[in-house]
Structure 1
């Protein structure tokens, strides 16, 4: 498979905060600094990766938020548009893929001063044809400190970075997989904070109502409730006995640990009982 080189340009910001500079470059800034010349802003740094149209998650580039106290003149929520240019070595051509970031400039003196960045647009509207198949780029999260998350929280007074993780996925189809099992909980005895992580790597939403997530032992089952939709690029978790709304709010509701620390397998089946995905860690169930 050929390699690709990525680069990024920030093309728009709406509604417009004061003192914007750097449009149509890889580094955009905004706001009137509270002190000195430290404005807030985004940058994108690309790199060279393999083009893998097989659902494998890869680093598209590195996102950096320069988060400094600013005066925003009342504009604290806005969208920032990014165009990622990908040069495919195989045919020496550039393709542009567009994404939108949503920014919340939180009050600097509030109880939660970290600024928030999320991705309302995870699937590029542009596509590329590889070996006769049409693919789009799908961002599946921010990778920071080894963990991939849906939303990026950026502490004040510094530059905070995360890799942008993406896949090349067939246009018009969902692709739901189990990505990991967090089997070593920190809650003593019950390990209520264990979880199974599931992501839709496809370009279309997936209706997973009635789908079954289970371990190998009897009674360790979770059924997704009616009207459960996993959006393209969305990542959720099903916890053993905790509720985390930021991850979908799903829980087995089990007072006992479910996932064996020495090894186990998580299974995901659709409403017909067809296995959609499984994930084994360690030597497997014992």
Structure 2
């Protein structure tokens, strides 16, 4: 584990920047109105603990100041972010990301503005002990959930932590991250297993198998199932959630042992890629 300090600035945008102020700082604004009434982005870094094993950390806090402004000539545009990471040994590295902004109409059934990241992986690399790493953004942490699209209500400042990790450059890294084995819905239909790609490259998991506690209770991922860097999906017992990939066993009874077991993820060759003990199968802490 290493302590690092993060900071950020917004150096450029793909829109007409004649109404922009603050480019090159951590607070960029836009709109043909006075500065205090403009919309904009803020990035605030801080002191964080980082590891190189795929452990997530808070890269910084993203705030969208979403105020009613006159319609922009181009309502969708990109704003670039540069994040500087200064490690405890004094070395620094800059990592860049692009935020895609959708300035939706202020009135109507969905006035919320939308913020996406066209790519979640920094193009820059840092070398530690001979190994190259890139920063991968997992998403925005809102209300305890990590989501990949930031939905920003109109008329205020909306914030979320930007959650990221250091990933080995040029490699996927698929792991089981959570077994939600005590469902609350009928027949525990809302049980799920969460899977994440902690790597910096997409992972094709077509034909991979998620093993449940009994023989024959396996879920095989369909052809074309690809996990993007930093992406999470869930396999539910008997619910469909498109926002989590839409995967479901489709079984009308509980699958995951409420006492404990070990979830297994195997590739198409039958090799175990990741295992995750839960409940009473979790090894005791020494």
Q: TM-score over 0.5 for the alignment?
A: yes
Report runs of 4+ in structure 1 exceeding 4 Å deviation.
none
- Structure 1, unpaired ranges of 5+: none
Cα–Cα, structure 1 residues 64 and 177, in superposed 2: closer, same or farther, change >3 Å?
A: same
In terms of mean alpha carbon deviation, does 254-263 or 171-180 score higher? 254-263
Q: Does 1:198 align with 2:214?
A: no
Structure 1 segment 88-103 matched on structure 2, within 5 A: 88-90=87-89, 92-103=90-101
Kindly indicate whether the alpha-carbon contact (under 8 Å) linking 2:208 and 2:266 is maintained by their aligned counterparts in 1: yes
Matches of 2:100 and 2:251, distance apart in 1? 36
Partner residue in 2 for 1:242? 239
Q: What residue number does 1:2 align with?
A: 2
1:59 corresponds to: 58
Q: Report the CA distance shift for 1:162/1:262 in structure 2 as closer, same or farther (over 3 A).
A: farther
* Distance (Å, rounded) in 2 between the aligned partners of 1:192 and 1:252: 10
> Which residue does 2:128 correspond to in 1?
130
The 3 A distance-change label for structure 1 pair 258 and 106 is farther
* C-alpha distance in structure 1 between counterparts of 2:110 and 2:254, whole Å: 32
Q: CA deviation at 1:259?
A: 3.0
Q: How far has the Cα of 1:25 moved from its partner?
A: 0.5
> Which one of the candidate residues 259, 263, 266 is aligned to 2:263?
266
User: In structure 2, the residue corresponding to 1:70 is in which secondary structure?
Assistant: coil
Comparing 178-187 and 133-142, the one that deviates more? 178-187
Taking structure 2 as the reference length, the TM-score comes to 0.90
Alignment-derived partner of residue 76 in structure 2: 77
* CA deviation string 1:61-104 (max 9, x = no partner): 111111122223342211111100011222x1221101111122
C-alpha distance 79-36 of structure 1, shift in aligned 2 (>3 A):
closer
Cα distance change, pair 133–282 in 1 and its aligned pair in 2 (3 A): same
Match of 1:256 among 246, 253, 258: 253
Determine if the alignment matches structure 1 residue 104 to structure 2 residue 115.
no
Provide the alpha-carbon RMSD of the alignment. 2.1
Residue equivalent to 1:38: 37
Shift in Å, 1:105: 1.9
Which deviates more from structure 2 when the two are superposed, residues 133-142 or residues 246-255? 246-255
Correspondence for 1:210 among 207, 214, 227: 207
Aligned to 1:226: 223
Report the Cα distance in structure 1 between the residues aligned to 2:138 and 2:56, rounded to whole angstroms. Answer: 8
The structural deviation recorded for 1:13 is 1.6
| SS of corresponding position for 1:246 | helix
For 1:185 and 1:75, the matched residues in 2 are separated by 45
Task: Please point out which of 150, 153, 172 is paired with 2:151.
Answer: 153
CA drift at 1:110: 2.1
- Give the TM-score of the pair, scaled to structure 1: 0.90
